[in-house]
Amino acid sequence: MLGRRGVGVSVLAATLLGLPGVGFALRIADCPGGRFVPLLNSAVGLPFEDPSSASGSFTVAGGTITLGACPEAPAPFITVRHQSRWRARWDSCASFVEVRLRVVIGPGGGDCGYVVGVIRYRDATGRRRAIKFPAELAAP
């Protein structure tokens, strides 16, 4: 049986879920993915560059990520500590090894059309490299 406090909490929760910002934050897991274009001055020499991905974009679809020179890799959409993100890993892509990509939904967890990615890899000389970049959802 709910007391006055229990009823008040239930009413407050229902009210908060009705607010656009709170309701959207709880529905963010519905982000469908798509083709994202990194906002970099040059993607030359990065795992983005490949004849199959001339624009230097990466694609998130159906729980997988395809990144330029890298084949499709599993990338489940997860939410941890109020951050929604995709993560993928490749053993090798062209001349790059140990490639990892983490893509986080843009500032505030709001719009699925803007993400911030971090790509980590070892280049041909064996040096570890990392690049943080913003990316936008490409128009269909």
Instruction: Locate the domains of the chain by residue range.
Output: 1-29, 31-137
Residue 121 CA to residue 87 CA, distance in Å, equals: 14
* Full-model pTM: 0.70
Q: Residue 131's beta-bridge partner residues? A: 119
**pLDDT on residue 90:** 92
**pLDDT on residue 120:** 92
Average pLDDT of the chain, as a whole number: 73
What average pLDDT does range 43-67 have in this prediction?
A: 70
- pLDDT of 139 > 60? The answer is yes
**pLDDT on residue 105:** 86
What average pLDDT does range 85-94 have in this prediction?
A: 88
**pLDDT on residue 5:** 53
Q: Which helix (H) or strand (E) holds 26?
A: helix 20-27
